[in-house]
Amino acid sequence: MPPPAPTALKGRWPSASALTGWARR
């Protein structure tokens, strides 16, 4: 599972929904 670049740039940890979205992609 690749690290969320957009979230990392924002300096905010991805939520469960964001993690699911990335995992689905």
Q: What's the pLDDT tens digit per position in 1-25?
A: 566 566 555 555 556 677 677 566 6
pLDDT of residue 23: 64
- pTM beyond 0.85: no
Per-residue model confidence (pLDDT) at position 12: 58
Specify the pLDDT at position 7.
Answer: 55
> How many domains is the chain partitioned into structurally?
1
SS3 content of the chain, % helix, strand, coil (to 5): 60, 0, 40
CA–CA gap between residue 11 and residue 25 (Å, rounded): 21
Q: Could you give the CA distance from residue 18 to residue 24 in angstroms, rounded to a whole number?
A: 10
Q: pLDDT value at position 14?
A: 57
Identify the domain containing residue 18 by its residue range: 1-25
Supply 2's token pair. 């690749």
